[in-house]
Structure 1
């Protein structure tokens, strides 16, 4: 067939090529798989027997059957059978089973992880970089156990959510 695109290895037409529609249709099938990708599930090892054209999966680490040799690839069913794409850094798919995104980071698929520097809600920053730790309450002249307990609970919650560091 000749040359391929560098990132997604989509087949390219060559000058004087017979049956250009075969190469063109193959490229369109692969584009259909990778543009705005939505998969049925992430990490499946055995191809489903009832797959219909247009459905896709992220192949698991130990694939079997028609998926053998395509570990961690994006697999899509087409009218012509299974098509596979090797994930590239930055590829993100929506997983119907998990109801969240799964992202490829060169080491594997990360499902449900959100990586950001800040979180904006209606244009206002509500979460930013982790702040310095806050020490738990102790000592003082007047001890109010209920207030101290409430403040400590808030500090622990902030630490558990990673919003502040441990003191």
Structure 2
């Protein structure tokens, strides 16, 4: 953090003896308005729209042009005073109206609709975990029923391990 801006979002800080403190305060509120519960029109847009609505936001693409030049991957929001930008931070998430999905910044790019985790828990019960080993296909033999039953038993065990069916 510098004496001028906040560490994470780069919000302007009020200074001792600063004239017109309301300007810094209002700028910080405008940026917070874009940062808290953010909703963007689209992700990865390189050119600013020609007629944006006040309060509308976009995630800038990797090769921005025009008023967005030099602001790759940032969240761009239109205000009555022009464009305001929030630098993307690792873990930052926005709701993308265009994709009807969450987009999350991983430190390098915005991933849209990706869900990552170690396991999925529904109603307090783990239902999907780590991938299990491959199941060999039946290969025939003298007693096909025995091989089919063994394959089915392995499939059922995998489904139970994932919590997709009860034990």
TM-score range, shorter chain: 0.7 to 0.9
Q: What is the distance in 2 between the residues matched to 1:137 and 1:28?
A: 65
Ranges of 4+ aligned residues in structure 1 off by more than 4 Å: none
Please report how far the alpha carbon of residue 50 of structure 1 lies from its aligned counterpart in structure 2 after TM superposition: 1.7
Q: What is the distance in 1 between the residues matched to 2:116 and 2:78?
A: 30
1:50-104 deviations in Å (ceiling 9; x for gaps): 2111110000111111111111111011121100011111101110011101110
Please state if 1:58 is matched with 2:59: yes
The aligned residue for residue 111 of structure 1 is 112
Q: What is the distance in 2 between the residues matched to 1:84 and 1:49?
A: 17
The equivalences for 1:13-162 within 5 A come to 13-143=14-144
Q: What is the distance in 2 between the residues matched to 1:137 and 1:53?
A: 63
Q: What is the distance in 2 between the residues matched to 1:7 and 1:106?
A: 13
Q: What is the distance in 1 between the residues matched to 2:90 and 2:100?
A: 21
- SS of equivalent to 1:21: helix
1:8-65 deviations in Å (ceiling 9; x for gaps): 1100000110000000000011111111111000011111112111110000111111
TM-score (norm 2): 0.83
1:141-163 deviations in Å (ceiling 9; x for gaps): 3236xx69x96xxx7xx9xxxx8
TM-score (norm 1): 0.83
Q: What is the distance in 2 between the residues matched to 1:11 and 1:74?
A: 17
Q: In structure 1, list runs of 5 or more residues that go unmatched.
A: none
- SS of equivalent to 2:34: helix
Q: In structure 2, list runs of 5 or more residues that go unmatched.
A: 163-167
Q: What is the count of residue pairs matched by the alignment? A: 151
Q: What is the distance in 2 between the residues matched to 1:130 and 1:84?
A: 41
1:108-132 deviations in Å (ceiling 9; x for gaps): 1111110011112222211112222
